[in-house]
Amino acid sequence: MSKIKILLVAVFCFSLASSAFSQAQISPERKRAIDSLAIEKIRDLSKYISIIGSKETPFSEANRVIERTLELFADDSQIGVSSLHRTEIQYYGVRPYLEHLMALNYDRVNISWYNIQYISDLELQPDGRYVGVITIYQRFEGQSDDGLTYKDTTKKDITVYVERKHTQIGGKLIGFWDVLLGDVRVTETTK
């Protein structure tokens, strides 16, 4: 019985090791495809944030986009919020952040992201995941009909996790790269 246990443990360890080994063997072309996929997810997030924040977005559509945005993030991820009027940065869960964004007290909100790039390349971790950091600049403009205007530019660092997963679709085993976003940290806030 104990021999069977040892054998099972050995098989398990071997499968883990071979899985990690096979992921480590990724060609530069595949790696580039994964890098590009992660950047694309950040661009998607940028579009979603812009839609949710915009006052022109119908309520039902904004709520739908919030659900899509949540699917981009790993559980328990946090998003930092800064202001030119205070020094500290407040961190919110993703849903509260998005709901707050949707309910901002302006009549017009325009949010755009630019200079999206890696500041830390995706690196293979011992647990088999790739982890990297992508930085973005966010330009926020909020205007009220009474003339109140707030504008700032924040630099944010977003942790990205990429993991190889498998799923069964139509009887076929599909290997896919699951990109999940982690914390969004504010590193700079300027006018």
CB of 36 to another protein, least distance (A): 7
CB of 169 to another protein, least distance (A): 5
- Give 87 or 168: the residue with its C-beta nearer to another protein: 168
Helix (H, G, I), strand (E, B) or coil at 106: coil
- Give 5 or 166: the residue with its C-beta nearer to another protein: 166
Helix (H, G, I), strand (E, B) or coil at 105: coil
Q: How far is 70 from 95, CA to CA, in rounded Å?
A: 7
- Give 65 or 186: the residue with its C-beta nearer to another protein: 65
CB of 55 to another protein, least distance (A): 13
The DSSP line for 126-152 is: TTS-EEEEEEEEEEEEEE-TTS-EEEE
DSSP state of 74: P
CB of 93 to another protein, least distance (A): 22
- Which residues lie closer than 8 Å to 148 by C-beta, 6 or more apart? 106, 142
- The residues that touch another protein, with contacts defined as CB under 8 A, are 27, 29-30, 32-34, 36-37, 43-44, 47-48, 51, 57-58, 61, 64-65, 68, 165, 167, 169-170, 174-179
Comparing CA positions, the residue from 105, 132, 104 lying closest to residue 119 is 132
- Give 95 or 155: the residue with its C-beta nearer to another protein: 95
